[in-house]
Structure 1
Amino acid sequence: MVLSAPLYTTNFGAAYVGDSLELLDYLDSDSIDLVMTSPPFALQREKSYGNVDQEAYVNWLFAFCKKVYRVLAPHGSFVIDLGGAYQTKRPVRSLYNYRILIKLCDELDFRLAEEFFWYNPSKLPSPIEWVNKRKIRVKDSVNTVWWLSKTDNPKANVSKVLVPYSERMKKLQENPEKYYKPKERPSGHDIGTAFATDNGGAIPSNLLQIANTESNSRYIQLCKAVDIPSHPARFPQKLPLFFINFLTEPGDIVLDIFAGSNTTGAAAEFAQRRWIAFEENPSYLSASAFRFIEANESIGKASKLYEDIIARQKTINIKHSIQLNMGI
Structure 2
Amino acid sequence: MTETAVEQFTEHQRKRGKRVSVVSPLDAPFFETERGSLILGDCLQTLKSLPANSVDLFVTSPPYDGQPKYGNGEKYERDWYRDFFMAVSAEILRTLKPHGSFVLNYRSKRRGAERGVLQYEMIFWLREQGFLFCEDFIWGKPSPPPGKFNRFLKDAVEYCFQFSKTNDWQFFPENCLSPARWDAKDRERRKKLAHNYVRANAPSGQGRKRVQAGPDMVRPSTLLHLEPEFSPNPVKHPARFPVELPSFFIKLLTQPGQLVVDPFGGTGTTGLAAERLDRRWLLVEIDPTYASIVPTRFENGR
- Pairwise TM-score range, normalised by the shorter structure: 0.7 to 0.9
Residue number among 99, 106, 128 corresponding to 2:121 in the alignment: 99
SS of 1:68's equivalent?
helix
Distance between the aligned counterparts of 1:192 and 1:76, measured in 2? 42
- What is the CA distance between 1:60 and its match in structure 2? 2.9
Would the aligned equivalents of 1:34 and 1:253 in 2 still touch at CA under 8 Å?
A: yes
Residue 285 of structure 1 corresponds to 291
Are the structure 2 counterparts of residues 43 and 201 from structure 1 closer, same or farther at C-alpha, using a change threshold of 3 Å?
A: farther
- What is the CA distance between 1:179 and its match in structure 2? 6.8
Residue number among 12, 16, 22 corresponding to 2:35 in the alignment: 12
Residue number among 101, 107, 121 corresponding to 1:77 in the alignment: 101
Residue number among 64, 67, 91 corresponding to 2:88 in the alignment: 64
Residue 160 of structure 2 corresponds to 145
> Which letter maps to 1:237?
V
- What is the CA distance between 1:80 and its match in structure 2? 0.6
Does 229-238 or 203-212 show the bigger shift? 229-238
The within-5 A match list for 1:1-328 is 4-43=27-66, 45=68, 47-48=70-71, 50-87=74-111, 90-106=112-128, 108-126=129-147, 128=148, 131=149, 135-166=150-181, 169-171=182-184, 180-181=190-191, 184-185=194-195, 193-198=210-215, 200-216=216-232, 220=233, 223=234, 229-294=235-300
Are the structure 2 counterparts of residues 194 and 30 from structure 1 closer, same or farther at C-alpha, using a change threshold of 3 Å?
A: farther
- What is the CA distance between 1:194 and its match in structure 2? 4.8
More helix by share: 1
More strand by share: 2
- What is the CA distance between 1:102 and its match in structure 2? 0.7
Runs of at least 5 residues in structure 2 that lack an aligned partner in the other structure = 1-25, 200-207
Runs of at least 5 residues in structure 1 that lack an aligned partner in the other structure = 224-228, 296-328
SS of 2:284's equivalent?
strand
SS of 1:33's equivalent?
strand
Percentage identity across aligned positions? 33
Would the aligned equivalents of 1:182 and 1:192 in 2 still touch at CA under 8 Å?
A: no
- What is the CA distance between 1:9 and its match in structure 2? 0.9
Would the aligned equivalents of 2:67 and 2:76 in 1 still touch at CA under 8 Å?
A: no
User: Could you report, residue by residue, the CA deviation over 1:165-184 in whole angstroms, capped at 9, with x for unpaired residues?
Assistant: 22xx15589xx7x7743752
Q: How many residues align?
A: 267
Give me the CA root mean square deviation: 2.7
SS of 1:11's equivalent?
coil
Are the structure 2 counterparts of residues 44 and 9 from structure 1 closer, same or farther at C-alpha, using a change threshold of 3 Å?
A: closer
Distance between the aligned counterparts of 1:8 and 1:66, measured in 2? 26
The TM-score, its normalising length taken from structure 1, stands at 0.74
Would the aligned equivalents of 2:257 and 2:279 in 1 still touch at CA under 8 Å?
A: yes
Are the structure 2 counterparts of residues 45 and 282 from structure 1 closer, same or farther at C-alpha, using a change threshold of 3 Å?
A: closer
The TM-score, its normalising length taken from structure 2, stands at 0.80
Are the structure 2 counterparts of residues 202 and 170 from structure 1 closer, same or farther at C-alpha, using a change threshold of 3 Å?
A: farther
SS of 2:160's equivalent?
strand
> Which letter maps to 1:143?
E
